[in-house]
Amino acid sequence: MESHNQNIKEFQARRHIILLMIICIIAFFIMLILPTSRNVSVGVPIILLMRAIWQFNMIYISIGDDYITYRPTAPLRSGASMLFKEISSINYQKNKVIINYKNKISHNEHTVKIPLTVMENEEKEKLLTTLRTVLKDKEQ
């Protein structure tokens, strides 16, 4: 059996997530104390806490030896996977990275806008350094 050793770098979107979790827990206990209709008021902090835990554990961007996978933090938005050879250009802006690529199977051109505001500064710098290294010939 042959194994493929890829160097996969994973980046997470954890900016302000711990703060959100703490606020949700405090709001949950405040809602328990208040004499309102508990079904809705207790449910909202629980739902927000579950979403924050999901985001804390998710991999936002994966960069392998020849591909990038992006998973948005918004639960209903679709992600994107692209091979380096499919990428036609990459543009670095203040709070986002814009990647243009052409899918080799469908031959459709796509643009992926990756927001950087959801990433902590150290994680964002590691991502930008990695992208500039692996996609240096695609920069605009």
User: What is the CATH classification number for the domain harbouring 112?
Assistant: 2.30.29.30
Q: Write out the DSSP string of 4-38.
A: -----EEE---TTHHHHHHHHHHHHHHHHHS-S-H
Residue 5 included in any domain: no
Residue 38 included in any domain: yes
Residue 4 included in any domain: no
Residue 2 included in any domain: no
Alpha carbons 49 and 37: distance in angstroms, whole number: 20
pLDDT tens readout for residues 118-140? 999 999 999 999 999 999 888 87
Residue 125 included in any domain: yes
Region 94-98: what's the mean pLDDT? 93
Alpha carbons 73 and 15: distance in angstroms, whole number: 11
Residue 54 included in any domain: yes
pLDDT tens readout for residues 54-72? 889 999 999 999 999 999 9
How many domains does the structure of the chain reveal?
1
pLDDT of residue 86: 94
Residue 73 included in any domain: yes
pLDDT tens readout for residues 77-93? 888 999 999 999 999 99
Q: In terms of residue numbers, what domain contains 16?
A: 10-138
Alpha carbons 99 and 113: distance in angstroms, whole number: 7
> Which of these ranges, 1-10, 17-26, 90-99, has the smallest mean pLDDT?
1-10
Q: In sequence order, what are the beta bridge partners of 116?
A: none
Residue 3 included in any domain: no
